[in-house]
Each structure stands twice: as C-alpha cells, then as structure tokens.
Amino acid sequence: MLANTVYSQLNADPIYYFRHVDVRVDNGVAHLSGYVWSTDAIYQARKIAMKVPGITGVSTNELQLERNGRDNGPAR
C-alpha cells in the first residue's frame, strides 16, 4: 500500500520527526496531515513523499505547525 510506504519513508528520515504525520493516498496523491515542528520539515516531507514510486503529487494543506506545544493552525 502506497500510504504505508510513504509513512515508512518519512519515519526513516534521520533529521526530522514525522511520527505525528498521517498519510492517505488518493489516485497517486499523498495527503499528509497531522503536525510537524518547522516549515523545513514540511518541505522535507514533500520531498520524501515525491520520491516514492507511484506518488504523483503531495498535499500538505492538512499539516499543521506546532511550536512550543501550541497549535498555530494549518501550515501554509
């Protein structure tokens, strides 16, 4: 299943912590939701997901930035 592959690749990243990111794949597009701690992590998540064979696009609209334990809303 593509979602599991994307999730595994995210969690294999040695720099960023993606344990709070959920993955859903629809028609080749990986939809990432949950939260991360930096905008750099969002860019890295997109990069990682796009490298998975079968993924044709990545949506991070549902990813939220969490800083200092506070929810700051959707990452843009």
CB atoms inside a 10 Å sphere around CB 41: 21
Q: Which CATH number applies to 2-74? A: 3.30.1340
d(CA 9, CA 13): 7
Strands 29-36 and 21-26 come out as: antiparallel
pTM value is 0.85
Q: Where are the domains of the chain?
A: 2-74
Per-residue model confidence as pLDDT tens for the chain (76 residues): 999 999 999 999 999 999 999 999 999 999 999 999 999 999 999 999 999 999 999 999 999 998 765 555 555 4
pLDDT reported for residue 67: 72
